Amino acid sequence: MTATPPDKDLIEGVEAADEQVRMGFLEHLEELRSVLIQSGLAALAAASLCWFWSARILDILITPIADQGVYFTAPNEAFLTRLKIAGMVGLFVVLPFILFRIYAFIMPGLYRSERKVVAPLLVSSTLLFYTGIAFSFLVVIPQVITFLLSFGTQTMVPLIGVGNYFGFVSRMCLAFGLVFQLPLLVLGLSWVGILNPRMLLRTWRVAIIIIATVAAILTPPDVISQVMMAVPVLILYFGSVLISLVVTRRRGKEH
């Protein structure tokens, strides 16, 4: 029994399909490379511009301890701190542009219904992140610093290094920016059916323990900063219950 030779047109069709898949993959890689390069250049440009205002930005950052002042103990500490400030502020400034480029990259692969969800989520996430940073700097950090400095004595006075202070402020702001994403996390988990309002209300005691633990990890080891993080996060948690209720009811109507 002789074997049937493979059809030449079929082989060519398979090879053409493989070539299209390979070219499509390479095009996606090239587009991703373009997104990364544009985002990096935008962040670099923003950081370069922010450098010229880094001294003024530093003056704003040390407002909570303006009476104490900050010091640098190494010849390059002031330069490196201003460089970090320029880089971080520049990244915060161009964050909406970076998120827009990411959204434009993933948009062709989304369904129309998914596009209607992803765009508001990106905008909401950015606004919540900035809100968390503003709340941390304007409300929490001044209270925490006042509390911590109150432990000084007449013979033990604070001498705060600018590098350590900037690290403290940036970590606090980043922590609050991240925990303020809680409503969106609950929204997403509720939309896919993992969470529901009844579950959130039934486990509120566990949520309090988890929130208190996270606050203890993300903030300095003092009661004031931990409480000032835990309280707004608890408010966001119970607000998320309402969000979950709305999302769950909407999913029920759609199904």
Domain containing 220 equals 181-250
Residue 7 lies in a domain: no
Residue 112 lies in a domain: yes
131 and 45, same domain (yes or no)? yes
203 and 148, same domain (yes or no)? no
Residue 2 lies in a domain: no
121 and 190, same domain (yes or no)? no
pLDDT on residue 23: 46
Residue 192 lies in a domain: yes
148 and 34, same domain (yes or no)? yes
88 and 204, same domain (yes or no)? no
- Chosen domain end from 161, 189, 212: 161
Residue 255 lies in a domain: no
Residue 16 lies in a domain: no
132 and 57, same domain (yes or no)? yes
Could you tell me how many residues make up the chain? 255
Tokens 């996430």 label which residue?
Answer: 125
- Chosen domain end from 98, 129, 161: 161
127 and 65, same domain (yes or no)? yes
Considering the chain, what percentage of its residues have pLDDT values greater than 90?
19
From 87, 183, 168, 167, select the one nearest 132 (Cα to Cα).
Answer: 183
Residue 254 pLDDT > 90: no
114 and 206, same domain (yes or no)? no
What pLDDT digit, counting tens, does each position of 66-92 carry? 777 889 888 899 999 999 999 999 998
pLDDT on residue 26: 65
Mean model confidence pLDDT for the chain:
80
112 and 157, same domain (yes or no)? yes
214 and 115, same domain (yes or no)? no
Residue 95 lies in a domain: yes
45 and 156, same domain (yes or no)? yes
- Chosen domain end from 102, 131, 161: 161
- The mean pLDDT value for 208-230 works out to 80
130 and 213, same domain (yes or no)? no
pLDDT on residue 178: 87
Higher local confidence (pLDDT), 164 or 222? 164
Task: Provide the domain count of the chain.
Answer: 2
Considering the chain, what percentage of its residues have pLDDT values greater than 70?
84
Residue 244 lies in a domain: yes
pTM for the complete prediction? 0.77
